[in-house]
Amino acid sequence: MNLSRSSGILLHPSSLPGKFGIGSLGAQAVNFVDLLKKAGQKLWQVLPMGHTGYGDSPYQCFSIYAGNPILIDLDLLVEDGLLTRNQLLTDEKFDDQRVDYGRVINFKRDILNKAFNNFLENPENNTHEYNEFLNRNAHWLDIYAIFMSIKENFGGRPWWEWPHEFRFRDPETIQRFQKQSGREVDFFRFCQFIFYKQWLNLKQFANQNGISIIGDIPLYVAHDSADVWSNHQVFQFDENRNPKAVAGVPPDYFSATGQLWGNPLYDWDVMEKEGFGWWINRVKATLELYDIVRIDHFRGFEAYWAVPFGEKTAINGKWIKAPGQELFELIKNTLGDLPIIAEDLGIITPEVEKLRDEFEFPGMKIFQFAFHSDEKDQYLPHNYSQNFVVYTGTHDNDTLRGWYRSLDNHIKTKVLAYADSNENDFVRKMIKMAWGSVAKMALIPMQDLLELGSEGRMNTPGTPAGNWQWRFTENQITPEKIQWLSHLTKFYNR
């Protein structure tokens, strides 16, 4: 990936300010693009944009293709004539600093239903644009919409708890359900049409203003997803469609017992026999939504940690070889050069580095990993080479200030000495080091630009609740911060 020297901000749209309890794809997102431009930035990195399920994690979605309906901007629906201002009036009081997902989901579902009713009542809405979207995306959209409708019909239960004929996708049963529940199925199609329209318009605006969007592909997909339900043959399932083994990682920096993610594992042999079509379609669709793609848990393409189904922790897993070389060669031959960032954190072997470097994918460097060994530590900026993306931290880390407060005193001393800083200015000094490094791209979470403490943390790995909720408010962004970042960016030629 041949990108010029650049920098940007990591911020999920859910964290944007605005009405109705969550950030959205409307005016505040446009304002954020303007902010990036004023600050001299070229990159906006988001987390996965999918339709989230239990736990609200963007890394556990009901579909690898479907966007999250709760990110739809309601004011834009008024502009499109699909809602009236009166229909947006509500007595709900939303928190402007945390996302209360339960309340937001219920509120937006009700409003989107009103928009869909208005859509159905006006034949002129049945436009070429809408029908063309349905046709172009039918290969995933129909299955997703049916899956979500069945899920709602059974009280939100996961697909493996559905009656046998639904669990095993009996064709007559599914066809009959689709005919009986046509409106509900069409509602989910409609929401995707609106999401895609709003997101692609926002992306176009960003691109026109010199901002490239970095998206995110999780290596694995959620067990309770339309993708797994409809493609069981490419996953490691037994005859009852129970997983034989599940995904995770062994003990590491984040957890002494490893992380037991629980996602079903791919049957790579079947995928390879099918020409990796499932993956080619996934990457192609993702590159239509983003300019650059970060692949989460890239090391799983070289070898993956397989944990026997039913284990309580990830300790008793084992490494199994994956056909990453063959996969990326075929994807490249089919789609061309790939603008991919490899999330190469965790237990990285020479084989993983070889796979990354073979395709010239930039790897990642995280400042917060850098101060626990000696001066040869690979995460210290003086040891970088150019084909990397440097982050002060990611969505899985505490903020810089929160991280610093958690350190032992001797590590704190080391951090301040390395950054030539004190406890008041070390956050800015570390951002300055990232921008001044040779790494081709430099990114900071919005929380670090705002110099927040742990109250700004987005996710704590291994905790099932209370994550993904952080939002910022407009008054936290001062002209001084924008001017400072703009100066820094120009000074270091980013």
Q: Average pLDDT, stretch 406-426?
A: 96
The torsion of the CA quartet 3, 5, 7, 10, rounded to 10 degrees, works out to 30
pTM across the whole model: 0.96
Q: What whole-number distance in Å separates Cα of residue 357 and Cα of residue 330?
A: 16
The tens digit of pLDDT for each residue in 168-182 reads 999 999 999 999 999
d(CA 384, CA 390): 9
Distance CA 63, CA 231 (A): 12
Q: Any bridge partners for residue 442, and if so which? A: 7, 390
Instruction: Return the bridge partners of 342, or none.
Output: 295
pLDDT of residue 2: 60
Domain borders along the chain are: 6-491
Q: What is the pLDDT of residues 51-83, one digit of tens each?
A: 999 899 999 999 999 999 999 999 999 999 999
> Architecture of domain 6-491 in CATH?
Alpha-Beta Barrel (3.20)
Split at pLDDT 50, 70, 90, the class of 271 is: very high
Residue of 396, 398, 448, 451 with catalytic role: 396
**End-to-end Cα separation, the chain, in angstroms:** 17
pLDDT grade for 92, boundaries at 50, 70 and 90: confident
pLDDT of 32 higher than 80: yes
> What is the share, in percent, of the chain residues with pLDDT greater than 70?
99
Lowest mean pLDDT among 267-276, 366-375, 404-413: 366-375
Give me the pLDDT at residue 116, please: 96
Q: What is the mean pLDDT of the chain?
A: 95
What is residue 124's predicted lDDT score, i.e. its pLDDT? 76
224, pLDDT greater than 80: yes
Q: What is the pLDDT of residue 333?
A: 96
Query: Is residue 296 annotated as a catalytic residue, yes or no?
Result: yes
Whether 365 shows a pLDDT value over 70: the answer reads yes
**Distance between CA atoms of 435 and 449, rounded to whole angstroms?**
13
Query: What's the rounded mean pLDDT across residues 452-470?
Result: 93
> Among positive and negative, which fits the CA dihedral 234, 237, 239, 242?
negative
Residue 254: what pLDDT?
64
Sequential DSSP letters for 229-242: HH-GGGB-B-TTS-
Please give the angle made by the CA atoms of 248, 253 and 258, to the nearest 5 degrees. Answer: 30
Question: How much is the pLDDT for 137?
Answer: 97
User: Rounded CA gap, 147 and 224, in Å?
Assistant: 10
Q: Please identify which of the residues 302, 343, 344, 398 carries the catalytic annotation.
A: 343
Residue 474 in this model has a pLDDT that exceeds 90:
yes
Q: Which segments of 24-150 are extended strands (E)?
A: 43-45
Q: What is the pLDDT of residue 462?
A: 77
Query: How many percent of the chain have pLDDT more than 90?
Result: 91
Q: What is the per-residue pLDDT for 1? A: 60
Confidence of residue 372 (pLDDT cuts 50, 70, 90): confident
Is pLDDT of 341 > 70? yes
Rg (CA), the chain: 23
Query: Token pair for residue 312?
Result: 């309580």
Q: How far apart are CA 267 and CA 293, in angstroms?
A: 23
The pLDDT of residue 214 is 98
In the structure, what pLDDT confidence band is assigned to residue 126 with cuts at 50, 70 and 90? low
Query: What pLDDT was estimated at residue 461?
Result: 85
| pLDDT reading at 3 higher than 90 | no
Please, which residues bridge with residue 320 across strands? 304
In this predicted model, which residue has the larger pLDDT, 1 or 426? 426
- pLDDT range class, residue 375, cuts 50, 70, 90: very high
pLDDT of residue 80: 94
45 φ, ψ (degrees, to nearest 5): -100, 135
For residue 493, the model assigns a pLDDT of 97
